[in-house]
Amino acid sequence: MKSQGHGRYRYSAIGARPPYDWPRGGRLAVYLGLNLETFAFAEGFGAALAPAPHQPDVLNYSWRDWGNRVGAWRLLDLFAEQGFPASILLNADLYDEAPELIAAFRARGDEIVGHGRTNSERQGTLSEAAERALIEEATARIRAHEGRAPAGWLGPWISESAVTPDLLAEAGYRYVLDWAMDDQPVYLSVRGGGRLLAVPYPQELNDIPAIVVRGASGAEFADMIVDAFDEMLEQSAAAPLVMGIALHAYVVGQPHRLRPLRRALRHIAAARQRVWIATAGAIADHCLALPPGIAPGSEGAP
């Protein structure tokens, strides 16, 4: 039986695509995606860092909350020290719980990316009307605090329904981070003839799958970042590439993981003249401005 397709993009071999450069002439773009998340107490979904026998799950709740109270501030200092901008993947409910934290990243000029209301819910299981309301509410709260709507979206738990890209495009989003199928930005087909770009978001260089799920140490995760950077820098001589690094404050903000992460970011910073250290939004803007036929899937983009 032939499997059902998604209809969002067509197959495209990376070596057969037209080349293009990132700003300043390099062909490797690097961005940091820092997840700032909030979780309901004693209800809903939650990242289980340790076994949770019952609710209220004080252990895991407070472990995650440490990320917003301590770990994120350590990461903010590290980003400033190494001169890295960041894309902040933000649960909108955090405006109520930790407004000072968001203000600190805002003061740096970091990008705010929509990441739902809270990570205690998934949007992919909702009705279309309820999912639209979730997107609208999260977007409105970010617009109210930041003075403009976010351009990008990462679904809580990277959860999508069959119509999520359509709803995002209709809500004015320019790019989404949910799809991890490529090392270049790719246009997704959406209903109504709109345009929505999938910017690569990593599931390998991501501290949750690497450290929490597969049990890598902080040093091993840092080695992954360094090895991926060196390899992708070589590969980018032939084609433009995007290297995202996905971080969660309650994971890599821990001191024993922050130290090796510092080493990895210093390694990338030392080569900043050869690469473009950017935000996910800046990467999307550059691709959206390319002529049709350059970025995959852009042939018929309006």
Question: pLDDT digits over 207-250, tens only?
Answer: 999 999 999 999 999 999 999 999 999 999 999 999 999 999 99
User: By C-alpha distance, which of 267, 273, 186 is closest to 229?
Assistant: 267
Is-contact 249 71, C-beta < 8 A? yes
- pTM of this prediction? 0.95
Q: Is 236 exposed, middle or buried (0-12, 13-18, 19+ CB in 10 A)?
A: buried
CATH 3.20.20.370 fits 20-41+54-288, yes or no: yes
Is-contact 259 219, C-beta < 8 A? no
Is-contact 297 187, C-beta < 8 A? yes
Q: Tell me how far apart the alpha carbons of residues 118 and 132 are, in angstroms, rounded to a whole number.
A: 15
Per-residue model confidence as pLDDT tens for the chain (302 residues): 666 789 899 999 999 999 999 998 799 999 999 999 997 775 667 676 767 777 887 777 888 899 999 999 999 999 999 999 999 999 999 999 999 999 999 999 999 999 999 999 999 999 999 999 999 999 999 999 999 999 999 999 999 999 999 999 999 999 999 999 999 999 999 999 889 999 999 999 999 999 999 999 999 999 999 999 999 999 999 999 999 999 999 999 999 999 999 999 999 999 999 999 999 999 999 999 999 999 999 986 54
Q: Is 158 exposed, middle or buried (0-12, 13-18, 19+ CB in 10 A)?
A: middle
Amino acid at 225: I
Q: Is 70 exposed, middle or buried (0-12, 13-18, 19+ CB in 10 A)?
A: middle
What are the strands, taking DSSP E only, across 249-292?
A: 276-278
The DSSP secondary-structure symbol of 18 reads P
User: By C-alpha distance, which of 120, 123, 212 is closest to 168?
Assistant: 123
Q: Which residues of 105-138 are buried (b: 16+ CB within 10 A; e: fewer)?
A: beeeebbbbbbbbbbbbbbeebeeeebbebbeeb
